[in-house]
Structure formats: C-alpha cells, structure tokens
Structure 1
C-alpha cells in the first residue's frame, strides 16, 4: 500500500499530477462573505501595525504631500508639534488597511466613508490597535451577488489606549449565496429637472492663506459665483502607488496586487487603493494652500476605477470659512475636493475641513 505522505510518493512538480491535485484541493479562504456580518458585531483587527517615519515619508513622497511639518523638526515645532508626526493620510490609510483582511478582502466596491475625525496626533513608533463595529447591513437592490455593510472603525494607540482616528465606511461585500433583487429601483435617484443651476462665474482665491479664501467667498456672494478652481499637478499611477503603498499598510485586498484575479473583473486590471487616490488629490489641493492642521472629512465617495497608467488631477470648491474656529494664527476652511482622471471623469469626491494659516 502506497504511503501518500511519504516525500517521494507524489511528484507534485509534475504538470499533469499537479493539475489533478489542484483541482481536488480545498481552498483555505481569506476574508468574509456578507452573511458573516450582523449589526452590533465587534471585530478586533490583528496584527496591528507600527507607524514609522519611513512609511510616512514614503507615503508623502509618492503622493506629493510635501508639507515640511511632517518632514523637518523645526517646521514641526513651529506648527505646535513636539517632533515631526506621521502624516494624517498615512495614519488613516494604515488604520483602514489593517481592517481589510477582516472586512473587505473578499472584494466589492468601496462605496464611501464619512465622519473621519482625527482626535490626536500620531508620531513614529506608535503601535496601532484597531477595531470595528457593524452598524448596518442591507441587500443590494441591483447586484444579487452582493450585500452592503457599514462599519464604524476606531484606530487607537495600543500603549496608551488613546483614540487617534475614527470613521464610518460602507462597502459592497460578496454574498455566499445570491439573493433576489428589485432590479436596482431602490438605488436609483430621480433625474433632476433641467440639471443643476450652475454659477455664472468661478472665482479663485488670490493666495493660499485663510484671508484669501474668506475674501474670495465674500466676493462670490455679491454675484452669481462660486469659489472653485483646478490644480495644475497630476500624478500618474505606477506600480508603487497601486500595489506598493497599500501592501505597506497591510491592505491585502486582491484588487490592488493580484492581476490574475482582476483580469476578468469590471476594471480589467488591478486598481488603486482609494486612500492613495484620495491622498494624491488632497496633495494637489494642499500645494495651493497654507495648511495648518487637518480636522475632519465627510461624504467621501469613490466614483470610478483608477488603474495603472491613469493620471489623477484635483479640483477644489470652497464652501465655508470660520475665523472663530482654531488658534489665533489659523482659521477653519471647509472644502469640497474632486479627483478626476485624464478623461475628466470624477474618481473621488469628499468634504474636508482644515485649519489654514492666517497671513
């Protein structure tokens, strides 16, 4: 009788033998289907991650976020930091990356994120502890193979327990078994009559300081105008952006690094991590403003795939200025940012509130 556990009993490298074995082998799956998630479930994400100066600088360099306060000790101290902290985009991407294996590795569209709030500054060497709670599950009315799940996620300092960042995100998640749908009528929005009433004029601020944004808003209110402008820089997606940066944040979603799996997907290729696309668009905007601190983000949505070779540009609209919010040398400005590709197709949009230096 053959001992199949013996090393020489089977030549696994023989092509015909291996094909037979592969067809019979059970796949050890990663990630969870929609049916796994129930409202109120708490998930603790392991292994966590240690934030590093190298990781932060790599993220900033690749996404064109060149704020000196996150690079140089003198600039950091002028901004009120003890030393250069990690960049908030890097912190957010790491916290979300850690959650992917438990929440969304099975695939599905990243529908959006809101209530992104930074509670404390994070410095290199911080060990992250991340947990999520299921706050909503529902059927997709247009895609029988998917459900929709919403989670609240908290990223903490593992040593002190202090909350660093919180947010709420929503994804489509594959179902183990398809379900009946209504053909998408519940997810369709009524067409507006005649389209939006666009402003006659778009005004750009004269400079990068809080007063420049405030004065532009005041001018816009005396005429049918809006404060909106585009940013000149663009960034073409390469292997480092599409695969390297997400893997460095422990984002294991196959969409970003498995071209074989993605060949038959709607995108036809691996796609960029949403937080990379977002960070590039925000970098374009920040290069035209004197940013002091990031405060919060809301209504972040991802509208279309970004793949290798696509170029990401940025467009900004100024929504509000609050001179009473923040320190003496900065005021709060609320923006709407849109990232778009080389075909002028929006790929990301979101609202952001940041403190901007006064003159």
Structure 2
C-alpha cells in the first residue's frame, strides 16, 4: 500500500484521524489485517436473528440447539457476515462513493457465541471507472477467521473509490 497516512496534520498540535484509503493508494496483492477483533455475544446473535426475521430455532432456542449435531446455538450467518463486513470497512471502503456488490459469500465453518473474529482483506483487482474519471473500482476478497485461524466466512465485493485528488466523502 502506498504511503497511507493515519492522521492529517491540521496545524500546530492538532490532527484529524484519516479514515479509509483512496483508489490510487491500493495495489493488487495488498493484504490488510483489520483490528481490533470482535467477540460474538449472545445479544448479537439473538437481536440480529430476530431483526432479520430469522427465527430458526438453531439460532435462538438453546433447548432445540442441544438436540442438534452442534449441541448449542449457532450464530446466524448474517451476524458473522455483518461483523466481518463491518470490521473491513475502515481499511477498504471508508472513502467509497458506493458499494457496488457482493459476488460470493461462503461460510465454511460455524460460529458460536464467545468466538472471537478477526478479518483480513486482499485487493484482488482494480480498474479505472468508465463513467467517473475521478474514481476507480476496487475488488476485495475478505476473510473472517476465528482467533484460532479457522475460516468462517469469505466474500468478494467491489467498491467505487475516489482517486486521491477526488472529493473525500469522509
């Protein structure tokens, strides 16, 4: 990644936190480790499950979940995706003009309450925007991992991101 600065000097001893990265600061092959991690709670799972109208008992009914192969409630995949997607935003698309889409989402392993998740993102493709000369499209592959390294989610998404000389929406 090209000289990304965490703070903008405003003068004297005053600084502004700089969120996100401009298009021309990325390079294909860059890998960003997103921190801090996030431990999934019972509240995360129940609230998101009910908010999304996902009332499958495997997510919200401990008695039912004990009768399954897992023996306890599974965290809803929407919770896992939301946490990992959110963790990746500052380092990938905080300056984005638009999130353009999700191409694939895979959930290879379950997540349980108490698991701590971390995320990392690789820049897999870049191209100038055909319709906006002051922006480009960056495609990312983001992985969510438990603290023991177990892969729990992987997805690809693209965002329209301004060039460094463009308007910073942040």
Match among 155, 166, 169 for residue 167 of structure 1 = 155
Gap runs ≥5 in structure 2: 1-9
After TM superposition, list the pairs within 5 Å mapping 1:197-216 onto structure 2.
Answer: none
Alpha-carbon contact 2:39-2:116 (below 8 Å) kept? yes
Which has more radius of gyration?
1
After TM superposition, list the pairs within 5 Å mapping 1:231-270 onto structure 2.
Answer: none
Secondary structure (helix, strand or coil) at the match of 2:21 reads coil
Match among 99, 122, 137 for residue 133 of structure 1 = 122
CA distance in 1, matches of 2:129, 2:33: 26
Counterpart for residue 109 of structure 2:
120
- The alignment's TM-score, normalised by the length of structure 1, stands at 0.41
Counterpart for residue 4 of structure 2:
none
Secondary structure (helix, strand or coil) at the match of 2:111 reads coil
CA distance in 1, matches of 2:71, 2:26: 41
Secondary structure (helix, strand or coil) at the match of 1:89 reads helix
- Give 1:33 shift: 0.8
Q: How many residues align?
A: 157
Q: 1:201-237, CA deviations, whole angstroms, 9 ceiling, x for partnerless residues? A: xxxxxxxxxxxxxxxxxxxxxxxxxxxxxxxxxxxxx
CA distance in 2, matches of 1:162, 1:28: 32
Secondary structure (helix, strand or coil) at the match of 2:101 reads strand
Whose strand proportion is higher, 1 or 2?
A: 2
Match among 21, 31, 49 for residue 20 of structure 2 = 31
Counterpart for residue 176 of structure 1:
164
Secondary structure (helix, strand or coil) at the match of 2:17 reads coil
Q: 1:44-82, CA deviations, whole angstroms, 9 ceiling, x for partnerless residues? A: 000011111111111112222111110112322344222
Counterpart for residue 55 of structure 1:
44
Counterpart for residue 199 of structure 1:
none
Gap runs ≥5 in structure 1: 1-20, 179-253, 255-260, 262-359
Q: 1:234-259, CA deviations, whole angstroms, 9 ceiling, x for partnerless residues? A: xxxxxxxxxxxxxxxxxxxx8xxxxx
- Give 1:26 shift: 5.7
CA distance in 2, matches of 1:36, 1:103: 11
- Give 1:37 shift: 0.8
CA distance in 1, matches of 2:15, 2:145: 37
Alpha-carbon contact 2:125-2:138 (below 8 Å) kept? yes
Q: Which is bigger in relative contact order (C-alpha 8 A, separation at least 6)?
A: 2
CA distance in 1, matches of 2:16, 2:151: 37
- The alignment's TM-score, normalised by the length of structure 2, stands at 0.85
